[in-house]
Amino acid sequence: MNVVTCPGCAAKNRVPQARAGKVRCAKCHADLPWLVEADDNSFDTVVAEATLPVLVDVWAPWCGPCRQIAPVVDGLSREFAGRLKVAKVNADTSPRVSQRHGVSSIPTLLLYRDGKEIDRMIGAVPAPQLRAWVERALTT
């Protein structure tokens, strides 16, 4: 479980890695940002049990472009709270996820809906382009 501070009332909330629905603040009931880490063992559960679209960021700590877009990806979890779940997968410690999904370059961003990949973006892109890409996926 992750602990997330509610942007509305500052209450601390335990947020599970996987479940159906969206996560809400226990105190004020505002939608919470849902940002989790996934690995080879938890990936299927994190993505498959999600009823929200899931943005998966496959990254590595040594990757400069990955570090460049990380704050943007984190910000999308806050901006689209209640509409999007974000899962970060470290390619170095979770090689099976990368192999299974044909990830050969990082960062690779995968969009899932109903447990199926619907789109992907490879490489670091400017924040407005990434935001627009996610918005398109949320409206279709």
Catalytic: 63? yes
pLDDT in tens, 29-49: 999 999 999 999 999 999 988
The single residue of 6, 9, 28, 63 carrying the catalytic annotation is 63
pLDDT of residue 1: 76
CATH topology of domain 33-139: Glutaredoxin (3.40.30)
The pTM (predicted TM-score) of the whole model is 0.93
pLDDT in tens, 48-57: 888 999 999 9
Catalytic: 66? yes
Q: Annotate 83-138 with DSSP letters as a single string.
A: T-EEEEEETTT-HHHHHHTT--SSSEEEEEETTEEEEEEES---HHHHHHHHHHHH
For the chain, which residues make up each domain, given as ranges?
A: 33-139
